[in-house]
Amino acid sequence: MVVFICCSGGGTSSMFCVHLKRAMTDAKVIYEYVPDIVKDYEKLTAEYDYILAYGGLHMITEQTAAEFDKYCDLILVCPQVHHHFASHEAIMAAYDTPIKKLDPKVFGTMNGAKVYSDIKYFQKTGEWIG
């Protein structure tokens, strides 16, 4: 499963990926900058249970939405860019990949365990409870 965690530029989303990976002790996990994951997609998806991609929300545009849909199973938006959420949700509406908001308290405390639990629930039900 590929989860794209996006903030304004990729700095805090990469930091959150570190905390999320630490919580995912029962799985094979890697986190990388989203373009690097796309470059090695076949190899990485064969080797890892979860791939945590990080980068800026601005990377999702009308021109790139199809690629995000192809390579990502879930897009999680960090709180500092929630004000841009509606426009990016509209961009992704034509595609199957869901885009969801990360809870500000969960993100602020870097609670990777909570988000991992939410991701597993999402995998089972298709619903995001975070």
pLDDT value at 7 more than 90: yes
Cα–Cα distance for residue pair 68/90, rounded to 1 Å: 14
pLDDT in tens, 104-118: 999 999 999 999 999
Q: What is the pLDDT of residues 72-98, one digit of tens each?
A: 999 999 999 999 999 999 999 999 999
Token pair for 55: 């980068």
* Sequence-ordered list of residues with C-beta below 8 angstroms from that of 27, at least 6 positions apart, any chain: 49, 50
Residue 11's domain comprises: 2-125
Residue % of the chain over a pLDDT of 90 = 98
pTM: 0.96
Domain assignment of residue 115, yes or no = yes
Q: Does 111 map to a domain?
A: yes
The domain tally of the chain equals: 1
Task: Please check whether residue 39 lies inside any domain of the structure.
Answer: yes
- Asked whether residue 130 is assigned to any structural domain, the reply reads no
Residue whose structure tokens are 């796309």? 38
CA–CA dist 83, 87 (Å, integer): 9
Query: Does residue 91 lie within any of the structural domains?
Result: yes
The CATH code of the domain that includes 42 is 3.40.50.2300
3-state secondary structure of 40: coil
